[in-house]
Structure 1
Amino acid sequence: MKKFTMALSAALALATPAAALDFVCQVRDTGNGFISPVLALQFEPGATTGNVFDVYINEVHGAPIQAKVKDRGNGKYRFTYRLNNIPARPRPARIGYRIELDTSKNTVIVRGSMPGVTNSFNGSGQCERGK
């Protein structure tokens, strides 16, 4: 896990714009899987896209991917993205993710949903500002 956290930091550091905000979050899966224990977020305030990286993104793409970012005011941001071909049985999974980041409290809530599946994937955790 420590190696993965360092890889997250290194991956985002390579693509860091000068005014970007970086967060590395420790996330606790609250049921049903497909929630990464470590999550990295990078974005510029006012931008409509940012970078996201976690265990599943690393498995599928090997590098951070872009996500839509919405500024919800008061230091709160929503990231949305879809990840296809996540290794799973009996066939690869396709999951839509929504991340709620509160920069004033340094907290994150992660939700995922699969087409045709009624239950969702959830997690929450604490974040640290990247350096």
Structure 2
Amino acid sequence: MMATPAAALDYVCKVRDTGDGFISPVLALQFEPSAKTAIVYDAIIHAVHGEPISVKLKDRGNGKFRFTYRVNNIPANPRPARIGYRIELDTNTKRVIVRGSMPGVTNSFNGNGSCEVGQLKNK
């Protein structure tokens, strides 16, 4: 999936959509805990960019990290969507929460799941 820097952490998460869509069932995260950016890859990012993207990373302490990013031109009807995402990862419990918001829309895009340490494998 991604080239791994020496101190990087890799997580692959299985996510259950608990909202109104636009949540990928598999999510890959790569980051160095002391960095300000991370790499994220999922089915939605793949559909738009075809490769992992760099996102903002915040260390919230106690093994908790926040990833924030926006994906534009997501294939949707009647027109492409623009969604801001926030991922909350707890490395101690290996649990993840994903939230998405779309300008001008009240629907919630939510998901949660569990993660494993490891890299996403191409199949």
Stretches (4+) displaced over 6 A = none
Aligned to 2:30: 42
Q: AA paired with 2:40?
A: V
Asked if 1:69 corresponds to 2:57, the answer is yes
Indicate which of 108, 111, 118 corresponds to 1:120. 108
1:1-131 matched pairs, under 5 angstroms? 11-12=1-2, 15-130=3-118
CA distance in 2, matches of 1:48, 1:120: 27
Q: AA paired with 2:72?
A: N
CA distance in 1, matches of 2:33, 2:91: 11
* CA root-mean-square deviation: 0.7
CA distance in 1, matches of 2:79, 2:40: 24
Query: How many residues align structurally?
Result: 119
CA distance in 2, matches of 1:118, 1:60: 23
Structure 1: 5+ residue stretches without partners:
1-10
CA distance in 1, matches of 2:104, 2:13: 29
Greater percentage in helix: 1
Structure 2: 5+ residue stretches without partners:
none
With normalisation by structure 1, the TM-score equals 0.89
Give 1:115 shift: 0.3
Give 1:95 shift: 0.1
CA distance in 1, matches of 2:58, 2:19: 26
CA distance in 2, matches of 1:114, 1:31: 13
Q: AA paired with 1:24?
A: V
With normalisation by structure 2, the TM-score equals 0.95
